[in-house]
């Protein structure tokens, strides 16, 4: 689960700031423990006359409480098992429909961690935006990746209501973003070609701008190879 480094040559760019929805850690607060539980939710005007509600639902599985003796980076209350994205489309002309997409189905070869941290306040808000300028609403989900980082996966909602993964260089690997405990991770900056964000490279102890350009024919984001050091 290692994302490819994405960079660009120019810093003279402007964009719209959007962020990742990242699951926070808990240390003793009481959370709902029996499925189904809506972990994240938002609404979006899909198109004139049609409104969309997007939810991430823990459908079945195990709830694990925080254990102070469990001394590792991923400690905290967490859900494991089956998760689904639920899209409810409310259309004044075509009628209403609900479409479920299981998280596992989006990663048939693996690639998704087997738990999601419980949050102090649920459901949290997904932040919708159009990352690739194709007219479809996109969103992201950041989850545990390691002691110093989160893994931020990109998704899109098709006109039919199905959720799909937005791929990077033909793979479904997530972005590696900074550690976040309060839904606050590096912002995405929208461009005509895609988006960029700031990433901390721990091995080199430096900050970089990473850029992703959308290839409409291949339906994937492509990366650049040069790095630009912002701070050291």
Provide the residue range defining the domain that includes 204: 17-23+34-231
The reply to whether omega before 72 is within 30° of 0 (cis) is no
Mean pLDDT of the chain: 78
Instruction: Tell me whether residue 28 is in a domain.
Output: no
Quick check: is 3 in a domain? no
How many structural domains does the chain have?
1
On whether residue 29 sits in a domain, the answer given is: no
Is residue 197 domain-resident?
yes
pLDDT above 90 coverage of the chain, percent? 31
Give the torsion through C-alpha atoms of 140, 143, 147, 148, to 10 deg. Answer: 10
Taking only the tens place, the pLDDT of each residue in 49-71 is 889 999 999 999 998 887 766 66
Which has more pLDDT, 229 or 123?
123
Q: Is 10 part of any domain?
A: no
Least confident piece of the model among 14-23, 79-88, 126-135, 211-220: 14-23
Inside any domain, residue 163:
yes
Does 164 fall in a domain? yes
Q: Per the domain annotation, does 7 fall within a domain? A: no
- Model confidence pTM above 0.85: no
């Amino acid at each position: 689960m290692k994302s490819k480094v994405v960079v660009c040559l120019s810093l003279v760019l402007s964009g719209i700031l959007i962020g990742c929805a990242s699951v926070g850690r808990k240390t003793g607060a009481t959370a709902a423990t029996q499925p189904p539980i809506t972990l994240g939710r938002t609404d979006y005007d899909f198109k004139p006359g049609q409104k969309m509600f997007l939810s991430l639902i823990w459908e079945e599985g195990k709830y694990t409480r925080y254990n102070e003796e469990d001394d590792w980076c991923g400690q905290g209350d967490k859900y494991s098992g089956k998760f689904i994205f639920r899209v409810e489309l409310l259309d004044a002309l075509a009628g209403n429909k609900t479409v479920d997409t299981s998280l596992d189905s989006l990663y048939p070869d693996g690639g998704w961690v087997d738990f999601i941290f419980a949050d102090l306040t649920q459901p949290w808000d997904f932040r919708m935006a159009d990352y690739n300028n194709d007219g479809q609403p996109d969103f992201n989900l950041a989850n545990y990746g390691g002691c110093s980082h989160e893994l931020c996966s990109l998704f899109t909602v098709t006109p039919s209501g199905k959720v799909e993964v937005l791929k990077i260089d033909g793979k479904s690997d997530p972005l590696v973003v900074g550690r976040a405990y309060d839904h606050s991770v590096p912002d995405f900056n929208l461009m005509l070609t895609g988006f960029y964000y700031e990433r901390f490279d721990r091995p080199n102890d430096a900050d970089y701008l990473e850029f992703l350009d959308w290839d409409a024919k291949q339906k994937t984001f492509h990366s650049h190879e040069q790095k630009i050091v912002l701070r050291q």
